[in-house]
Amino acid sequence: MKHDSIHLHDHLAHLAQEKRELIFGVTLTIGSFVMPQHLAAYLRKYPQTHIHMVVANTQELLKQLDAGEIDFALVEGYFSKKPLQLCKKCGRITCTVMGNQGGGTNA
């Protein structure tokens, strides 16, 4: 039992030191005006994280998301609003959540 405790402690210490990677996409407007301050705050809190932010149009980001090339996307504009979709590459269920600012329908 003591050996398990030591192993768990060592494993958790290793995970704390391990570099994390976050790959996501944003549209140009979001990348330029929304993300800088949020990324700076995140990196101050989690400096070991390697962040790769892809800036592209909505359709390209949705293609990359569907292909499993990015972890998530923050997009704007019109696109298919299927609320639940199965990712073809990883088999995970993804959910798109949108605001209702313009009086449109929720996904």
Nearest residue to 77 via CA among 95, 98, 53: 98
pLDDT of residue 101: 47
| Cβ pair 79, 44 in contact under 8 A | no
Those residues with Cβ within 8 angstroms of residue 73's Cβ, 6 or more apart along the chain or in another chain: 24, 25, 26, 61, 62, 64, 65
- Tell me: pLDDT of 12 over 90: no
DSSP characters over 14-73: HHHHS-EEEEEEE-HHIIIIIHHHHHHHHHHH-TTEEEEEEE--HHHHHHHHHTTSSSEE
pLDDT of residue 53: 96
59-95 per-position pLDDT tens digit:
898 888 888 899 888 887 776 656 546 566 666 555 5
Q: What is the pTM of this model?
A: 0.62
pLDDT of residue 82: 60
34-65 per-position pLDDT tens digit:
999 999 999 999 888 999 999 999 889 888 88
Rg (CA), the chain: 18
C-alpha dihedral over 42, 46, 51, 56, to 10 degrees?
A: -20
